């Protein structure tokens, strides 16, 4: 009985309420998904207006879409890095072999490999360092290019279907 009165007297901040509800929902044994109607009922019980719930749902969808785009962008950058590393390996092994056949009197191929390797290393740093402004600018450029490509593909599809 004493713990019930202590629990009733406790107050929680909005952040604490969110954390408690997130934990409670995560721990609940519910295998299915919640329908939109169920979501509206839960929001109504919590006193959340429907327009606020709709805005939050739209925000979650937007964030999920942004995450998918970023994952695609990261895969694109990593694929390009692998391609550049392959070119580096093939070209420089050929140059080192050519230099070896010439007798290594002057190891010019190592200088080329070193400079090219430096450039490849800086490129790898940019690919895997995703927390700065340069990454955001590269992502936005890629996104604009991707959107333009989709628009052109749609336009050509319409033109060819006529």
Burial class (CB within 10 angstroms; exposed 0-12, middle 13-18, buried 19+) of 53:
middle
Contact 43, 50 (CB under 8 A): yes
In a domain, 41, yes or no: yes
Mean pLDDT of 64-71: 94
Give the angle subtended at the CA of 124 by the CAs of 98 and 138, to the nearest 5°: 125
Domain that holds residue 112: 2-130
In a domain, 23, yes or no: yes
In a domain, 162, yes or no: no
Separation of alpha carbons 136 and 30, rounded Å:
38
In a domain, 147, yes or no: no
Band of the pLDDT at 6, cuts 50, 70, 90? low
In a domain, 149, yes or no: no
Number of domains in the chain: 1
Query: Which pTM was predicted?
Result: 0.70
Mean pLDDT of 64-70: 93
In a domain, 139, yes or no: no
pLDDT at 4 over 70: no
In a domain, 52, yes or no: yes
Q: Hey, what's the torsion of the CAs at 137, 138, 144, 149, to 10 degrees?
A: 170
């Amino acid at each position: 009985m004493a713990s019930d009165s202590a629990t009733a007297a406790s107050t929680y901040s909005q952040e604490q309420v969110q954390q408690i509800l997130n934990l409670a929902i995560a721990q609940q044994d519910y295998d299915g998904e919640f329908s939109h109607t169920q979501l509206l009922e839960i929001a109504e019980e919590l006193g959340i207006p429907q327009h606020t719930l709709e805005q939050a749902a739209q925000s979650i969808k937007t964030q999920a879409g942004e995450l998918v785009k970023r994952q695609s962008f990261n895969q694109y950058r990593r694929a390009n890095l692998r391609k550049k590393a392959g070119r580096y390996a093939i070209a420089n092994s050929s140059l080192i072999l050519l230099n070896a056949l010439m007798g290594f009197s002057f190891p010019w191929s190592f200088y080329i490999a070193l400079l090219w390797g430096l450039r490849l290393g800086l490129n790898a740093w940019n690919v895997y360092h995703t927390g700065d402004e340069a990454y955001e600018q590269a992502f936005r450029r890629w996104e604009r290019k991707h959107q333009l490509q989709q628009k052109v593909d749609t336009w050509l599809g319409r033109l060819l279907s006529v």
